[in-house]
Amino acid sequence: MNELARFLPTFLEGFNLSLPQNLVPVVAMFLCGSIVAAAMGLSAAVLVWAERKLAGHFQCRLGPVYVGGKFGWLQSIADGIKLFLKEDIIPTDADRPLFRLAPYLAVIGVLAAFVAFPISEHLLVADLNIGIFFILAVLTVEVFGVILAGWASNNKWSLLGAMRAAAQMVSSEIPMGLAILLPVMTAESLSLKTIVADQSGGILKWYVFQPPFFMAVAFLIFFVAGLASLKRSPFDLPEAESELTAGFHTEYSGMRFSFFFMAEYAGMLLVSGLAALLYLGGWHGILPGQSGVEWFLLKTSFLLFVMIWIRWTLPRLRIDQVVYVGWKVMTPFALVCVLGQAAAVHFRGG
């Protein structure tokens, strides 16, 4: 009963709602989706606030201070209400159906990925036996949303941004996939729960600290490639403000814009969470025997902090530099790591 997707149908049946028998799974799925969407939206709101606050302090400013009394902790809610009330503009020359479809695709990709995303041993929606593969597969849907948005806007800047997003995605997703191969090979499973279970028993059992340290390099590659696939600074070329106004979402306003925004921040959460699950022992603590949601949240929030930290440190790269880093640096390094780890797993007694 530790998986939401299994627990909810039995929970609903316990209520005697007199639903037709074949409707119960549908209602349960709907509830699951709502819970995931609410959690995603809420965490994105908290992240936006944290980003603004940290950005302020990185620049010796204060960030938001007024909204919600202290520390501006209601800033994201106020922003959300503002975006909600904004006029929804669709340019006359835009491709209307595609223009409308794009933001939903961007959000749905991330939302679907969260379904297979375990937060702790007992807190997850569904433990898919191909978990990490599923997440990688549906995450790419987000890039379709970005490319569609750039194309449908009928705007040169948007199109340039979308093309950059496509080039960047292709060059970052391959090292990312290769880096994920290492934990998968070591745990001999694609299920995230099994991968984390294999890292139990203290900090030295985490995959980053496993000799011969191919996994540490893979962790770095995964994190950098994750930044690139999220379009986060220093890889924020698809929306480079100084060159492309806002890139692929130049023409978007109001709620449609906030969908892109939410997808980006939820994606940050997803990549940091995945890095924590795959390499940093997930919900296992520093000492053997320690485990719980708090450890997972601690690791994820540290990685999120690093993402924000990098954003306010490094300037934007050029597109040829991004593609160079993807193809000529991260991919060969990832390949060497995969081969090395494969040999290590083989000689370990496989």
Does 37 interact with other proteins (rule: CB under 8 A)? no
Residue 76 identity: S
Question: CB-wise, 204 or 329, nearer to other proteins?
Answer: 329
User: Strand, helix or coil at 99?
Assistant: helix
Question: CB-wise, 147 or 224, nearer to other proteins?
Answer: 224
Question: Are 141 and 112 in contact, with CB atoms under 8 Å apart?
Answer: yes
Q: At 47, list the tokens.
A: 């992240």
Does 129 interact with other proteins (rule: CB under 8 A)? no
Question: Are 87 and 252 in contact, with CB atoms under 8 Å apart?
Answer: no
Question: What backbone torsions phi and psi does residue 130 show, to the nearest 5 degrees?
Answer: -115, 30
Instruction: Provide the minimum distance between the beta carbon of 220 and other proteins in the complex, in angstroms, as a whole number.
Output: 8
Does 65 interact with other proteins (rule: CB under 8 A)? yes
Question: What backbone torsions phi and psi does residue 242 show, to the nearest 5 degrees?
Answer: -75, -20
Which one of 9, 33, 56, 91 is in contact with other proteins (CB under 8 A)? 56
Question: What end-to-end distance do the CA atoms of the chain give, in Å?
Answer: 33
Which one of 74, 310, 335, 345 is in contact with other proteins (CB under 8 A)? 310
- Piece of the chain touching other proteins by CB under 8 A; list 22-30, 38-46, 50-58, 88-96: 50-58
How many Å apart are CA 182 and CA 198, to the nearest integer?
13
Question: Are 250 and 149 in contact, with CB atoms under 8 Å apart?
Answer: no
Which one of 61, 82, 156, 346 is in contact with other proteins (CB under 8 A)? 61
Strand locations in 213-319 (E):
none
Does 204 interact with other proteins (rule: CB under 8 A)? no
- Piece of the chain touching other proteins by CB under 8 A; list 11-19, 55-63, 236-244, 270-278: 55-63
Which one of 13, 156, 309, 339 is in contact with other proteins (CB under 8 A)? 309
- Piece of the chain touching other proteins by CB under 8 A; list 200-208, 248-256, 260-268, 312-320: 312-320
How many Å apart are CA 163 and CA 325, to the nearest integer?
17
Does 336 interact with other proteins (rule: CB under 8 A)? no
Question: CB-wise, 233 or 300, nearer to other proteins?
Answer: 233
Buried b (16+ CB within 10 A) or exposed e, 67-86: beeeebebbbeebbeebeee
Does 329 interact with other proteins (rule: CB under 8 A)? yes
Which one of 58, 104, 133, 213 is in contact with other proteins (CB under 8 A)? 58
Q: Which of positions 208-227 make contact with other proteins (CB under 8 A)?
A: 220
Burial class (CB within 10 angstroms; exposed 0-12, middle 13-18, buried 19+) of 154? middle
How many Å apart are CA 48 and CA 127, to the nearest integer?
29
Which one of 166, 312, 327, 342 is in contact with other proteins (CB under 8 A)? 312
Question: What backbone torsions phi and psi does residue 3 show, to the nearest 5 degrees?
Answer: -105, 135
Question: CB-wise, 9 or 56, nearer to other proteins?
Answer: 56
DSSP secondary-structure letter at 280?
A: S
User: Strand, helix or coil at 193?
Assistant: helix
Does 10 interact with other proteins (rule: CB under 8 A)? no
Instruction: Provide the minimum distance between the beta carbon of 49 and other proteins in the complex, in angstroms, as a whole number.
Output: 16
Does 19 interact with other proteins (rule: CB under 8 A)? no
Does 60 interact with other proteins (rule: CB under 8 A)? yes
Beta-bridge partner residues of 284? 291
Does 67 interact with other proteins (rule: CB under 8 A)? no
Please give the residue ranges that form the binding site for other proteins (CB under 8 A): 54, 56-62, 65, 220, 309-310, 312-314, 325, 329, 333
